[in-house]
Amino acid sequence: MVFNKMGVLDEAVSMKLITNGEKKLVFLPMHHVGRKGFYEDAKHKIDSLIQDGYIIYYENVNMPAGIDSLVKDTLYRKSRKITGVDLSTMKANQGYIDTVNGTFMGLKAGFITKYKLVNQGKGMLPLKDSLHVKNVDANFPQLIVACEKKFGPVELTNYDYDTKFGENYKSKKNEDLFNYFIVSFRNKLITDSILNSSQKKIAMIYGSLHFDGILENLTAADKNYKQVNSF
């Protein structure tokens, strides 16, 4: 089952370790949907890492406050065209799973009840602890600007405008553009933040797809970085 491969059915977080001999980096592969026990285990490990002096980096592609509603609408439509996913609706629903309607990302999904899956809880991270917890990620304007700079304008058609958010949407994805939007560009921002930080202990809470790219970027900048079994 694809969700098992993604780690959605895991009961615990398997941490990955990276170091260059000076900085210690802990990667906790995360997914936005999973079992309650998984997020309880993640919270326990995150709390322990903070007590051990780690700064937490976490992912959150957001829409900055104060953006004009028409600009916001365009950004969400371009994001939907790139990814095929209605990100605006997920933000509104505060999660990927709609337990009321039994859907996952807008699609009917019986496995939600079968495996008792839940959305990633907000309580997993102590977000009010700004000294130890930091959102290190791109926002929607940054992503769209970067994608259009690299691949050219994302042209919206009548279909893109006529299909309302929340409705069934079909789009042929450009895989290179999709991967740049979802993974590659964000990996560069994360890596740059690590390399430029004076912090010696950093824990990263990101989707598992980010790990290989972040490690590759780090080793390209400093050949001493490597994955290890323990510090």
pLDDT, one tens digit per residue, over 28-78 is: 999 877 888 899 999 999 999 999 999 999 999 999 999 999 999 999 999
Reported as a pLDDT band with limits 50, 70 and 90, residue 85 is: confident
Please give the pLDDT value at position 110: 58
What tokens does 105 get? 């990302």
Number of domains in the chain: 1
Please give the pLDDT value at position 220: 98
Question: For the range 161-170, what are the long-range contacts, defined as Cβ-Cβ under 8 Å and sequence gap of 24 or more?
Answer: 161/77, 165/76, 165/80, 165/86, 165/88, 165/89, 166/86, 166/89, 166/106, 168/106, 169/80, 169/84, 169/86, 170/84
- State the DSSP H helix or E strand holding residue 212, giving kind and residue range, or none if neither: helix 210-221
Per-residue pLDDT reduced to its tens digit, 174-200: 999 999 999 999 999 999 999 999 999
79-83, 91-95, 216-220: least confident range: 91-95
Cα–Cα distance measured from residue 26 to residue 70, given in angstroms and rounded to the nearest whole number: 40
Domain carrying residue 8: 2-228
Is-contact 117 105, C-beta < 8 A? no
Please give the pLDDT value at position 93: 41
In 31-78, at which residue ranges do the beta strands (DSSP E only) sit? 33-35, 55-58
Q: At what angle do helices 185-196 and 140-151 cross, to 10 degrees?
A: 120
Is-contact 114 190, C-beta < 8 A? no
What tokens does 120 get? 């990633």
SS3 category, 142: helix
Please give the pLDDT value at position 98: 54
